[in-house]
Amino acid sequence: MTPLVVGIAGSARRGGNSDRLLAAALAGARAAGAETEILVPAELAFLHCLACEKCRETGRCVLRDGAEEVYRVLLSCQGLVVATPVYFGGLPAPFKALVDRAQFLYFRRYELRDRGLPRGRPALLLLVAAGEEEGQFELLRGQLSPWLSTVGFVPRGVLTVGGVDRPGEVSERAIARARRLGETLL
């Protein structure tokens, strides 16, 4: 069976710098023999977490919407590429809402001790910001770390690109690096 690598396009702006990096990484994964799929949180219909905690007992979210399909795909794929801009040190709102919806998996994994959940699958982080200081990426990496672990991924590569704000500003060098990372993901 051909492995599936899923890309999450964190930006609401299609065709921007993080999308270009994502396309390159997924092209690399395809060159290495994977099938690829892209999920765009800003284009999906789902609610934010209601903090009802019903999932604490069942390990299942009570909401039936687009997030359900996203997590089905994320739990079944063999690799993940996250490409997102940094918004004030964090994730864009639609992506953050999707991350928060993983609460049901947190309870399944850490409280209900579901041993059937996947673990240790490889992930790449492609992070883009307008500013140039390296520290601007640390808060976002800190936000993504527990989510990746909860969903069953381990970062195998991180590419941070600062100083890009307008579409098309990401360098060809960064795009080539993203492709190489994608080639070695699985």
The domain segmentation of the chain, as residue ranges, is 4-10+50-175
The pLDDT assigned to 31 comes to: 98
Query: 93-100 and 138-151 helices cross at what angle (nearest 10)?
Result: 40
pTM over 0.75: yes
Mean pLDDT per 10-residue section of the chain, whose length is 186 residues = 96 95 98 98 96 95 96 98 95 97 97 96 97 85 96 97 92 98 97
The pLDDT assigned to 135 comes to: 83
What is the DSSP annotation of 30-67?
HHTT-EEEEE-GGGS--PPP----THHHHSS-S--SHH
Tally of CB atoms within 10 A around 14: 11
- In CATH, the architecture of 4-10+50-175 is 3-Layer(aba) Sandwich (3.40)
Query: 17-31 and 172-183 helices cross at what angle (nearest 10)?
Result: 40
